[in-house]
A and B are shown apart, each in its own frame.
Chain A
Amino acid sequence: MAGLSSRSGAQPLPLVIAPGILVLAAVTALVLAVPFLASEYWVNAIIVPFLILALAGLGLNLLTGFAGQLSLGSGAFMMVGAYATYALQLRVPGLPLPVALLLAGLLAGAAGLLFGLPARRIKGFYLIVSTLAAQFFFEWLFLKVPWFYNGNPSATIALPHGLSVFGLSAENPHGRYWLTLGTVALLTLLSANLVRGQTGRTWTAVRDMDAAAAVVGVQTRSAKLQAFFVSSFVLGIAGALWAFCYLGSASVQSFGLARSYQILFIIILGGLGTIRGAFLGAAFVSLLPLILDWLFQHLLSGHVDEGLRQNIQKAIFGLLIIGFLIKEPEGLARLLACLFAGPSGGRPRRRNLRDLNQETKP
């Protein structure tokens, strides 16, 4: 019962300390070494989708984790980005890819803005209706109007000549990796700056204390719309990458409701309201099936019925989500912070996040 809480609002708490320079250097070195160390399979099937999912998670985290607006429409905004990129590349000859991606992101942002309009009047989980409406409407639109998929009888989209930019082609795994990595790194940097600055503070103010924020002069309505726009912008670009850098071709099915849930799970597991959370969550979601596969093969040596095994995996995934929400609402981001800082050295739990979007009491 949400109204039961007697805690009265959250104190402003210290900002998350950025991971140390050492960690940063290690990550950079690893990231640059990936194409030389990992097999083509790891790059194509694990690392590229991981990066794109992390970007999508980041997009949703801006909206849900930072600004406190729940969305089940991530798939829809990714879809807009992918179909817009396709339309721009197909119909505007000679348009450079970065410009097409940027425009597609802006269009996705506009779609987010449109379906975020109800946030001006309602909040909490009622917003999922608006975002679900986006999900179902765009699935219908991109299937129904042949213009969006150039009349292809199967309603799928694929770029005519593949993606390429600055000599990096999405036709080969290394090009795909660098293209994805560059886009993801750039957007992550921009987002990190955004949330550390005035915009981010406004968003968290809206998330934690909507009414109070309004009283002290924060433009809550425009802050929410801003969050919807920026989040959908990032999601849109993630969608375009997903379609053309990872899958190669896409249909509305690639961005269905299941995708929206997956992105939501990524930020729940990774950590709401952190930049790292999206990456950790995406890593977790990408690796979990591999871990479970490996466990089943080695512990039970394949003596389990296939159907049962797949269902057990699904149940374990559900259990993990519940477990994380109960035990570690700040997700892997905090779990890892504690791990590195030793059992007693963890930073104080940021109380405000535990009560994400708590109903304001009368």
Chain B
Amino acid sequence: MSLFLETLIGGVLAGTLYALVAIGFVLIYKASGVFNYAQGSLLLFGALTFVSLKETGVPIAAALAVTAGLLIVTAVAIERFLLRPLTNRGPLTLFMATLGLSYLVEGVAQGLMGSRVRALDLGIEDLPLFLGDIMISRFDLVAAGVAVVLVVALALLFHRTRIGIQLRGVADDTRAALSLGIDIHRIWQIVWAVAGLVGLVAGLLWGARQGVQFSLSLVVLKALPVLIIGGFTSIAGAIVGGIVVGAGESLAETYVGPFLGGGITSWFAYGLALAFLLVRPAGLLGERPIERV
């Protein structure tokens, strides 16, 4: 029983790290209808910039500020040179454009900053923490805390500020929002910038776990099933989806893996997502019904 509980809790906490990545996707999808494949590369770009600055001796606060500034500039540029010319195109075209964007960002980021692995120490000591028999990771607890704070902050942004309300307007009914004179381009820029910052937070946490390097951009592949399960349009859904994927993966590897020869985490999340697609295509908390035939 304690093995089961430990596996479950460990999985849930690891899942919040998936969720952190997925939130960035939800923001962009809500506002501009794009599944932004380049989110992973932007995450890498943010973390890489931060670490490179820190290595050259820039104080942490300044490094964070510069990185954030750079991400905002990037968001504006993406809106101006990618989203705007592609307005009115189908979601597939936009998706493929973000695939191209990910190549561009990776090439530029690694070309400028090199591809060496860098260590990132956030000062969170990752020693085991015991609750009776059950072992819990301190690092994952902190990460889960960060995810909660981030969700609360985003909720405040959406519900208590003018920009947030406009943003929700755009997400709910774009044409109505346009006719009310909302500047949709500005909203897009803001959302992409916020998503970039969320990506930076996720990138720093993942970077502290595995070092800042190219494979950081691959976490995007874990985010997709999370989104399908949680729903593309709900931030709370991203959290729930992350937890379901994290716990499911963990339990499956422990209890089912040995019978299949192990190493099933590579596809388990996708199998789970596929099952959800067939049973509940909008995801657990998604609002907008996805395209059904």
Contact = CB atoms under 8 A, between A and B. Distances in A.
Touching chains A and B, CB distance < 8 Å: yes
Interface of A: 1-5, 7, 70, 118, 120-126, 128-130, 132-133, 136-137, 139-140, 144-145, 210, 214, 220-221, 257, 261, 264-265, 268, 307-308, 311-322, 325-326, 329, 354-360
Interface residues of B, number: 57
Given A314-B106, A315-B107, A126 B267 contact: no
Given A314-B103, A315-B103, A357-B92, A126 B290 contact: yes
B93 A124 contact: no
B101 A318 contact: yes
Given A318-B104, A326-B86, A70 B92 contact: yes
Contact of B35 (A125, A268, A308, A318): A125
A137 B102 CA distance: 24
B274 A128 contact: no
3 closest residue pairs by CB, A with B: A321-B100, A318-B103, A315-B107
B274 A133 contact: yes
Contact of B96 (A4, A311, A325): A325
Q: Do most interface residues of chain A lie in helix, strand or loop, or is the interface mixed?
A: helix
Given A315-B106, A318-B106, 19 more contacts: A2-B89, A2-B94, A7-B88, A123-B291, A126-B228, A126-B290, A136-B267, A136-B270, A137-B270, A137-B271, A140-B266, A210-B293, A307-B111, A314-B106, A315-B103, A317-B107, A318-B100, A318-B102, A357-B91
Contacts of A308: 111
A122 B96 contact: no
A3 B178 CA distance: 12
B211 interface: no
B86 A325 contact: yes
Most buried by A among B85, B94, B225, B293: B293
A284 B292 CA distance: 36
A121 B281 CA distance: 9
Interface of B: 32-33, 35, 81-82, 85-97, 99-108, 110-111, 114-115, 174-175, 178, 184, 221, 224-225, 228, 260-261, 263-264, 266-267, 270-271, 273-274, 277-278, 281, 290-293
A1 B33 contact: yes
B277 A311 contact: no
Contact of A4 (B85, B88, B105): B88
B104 A126 contact: no
Given A321-B96, A358-B90, A118 B277 contact: yes
7 contacts: A1-B184, A3-B175, A4-B175, A122-B281, A124-B91, A126-B277, A137-B271
A137 to B, nearest CB: 5
Given A2-B33, A313-B107, A314-B103, A122 B277 contact: yes
A136 B269 CA distance: 10
A261 B221 CA distance: 13
Nearest to A69: B92
A136 B274 CA distance: 13
Contacts of B225: 129
Contact of B174 (A3, A133, A210, A325): A3
Given A4-B174, A314-B107, A360 B89 contact: no
A129 B273 contact: yes
A325 B111 contact: no
Contacts of A129: 224-225, 228, 270, 273-274, 277
Contacts of A7: 88
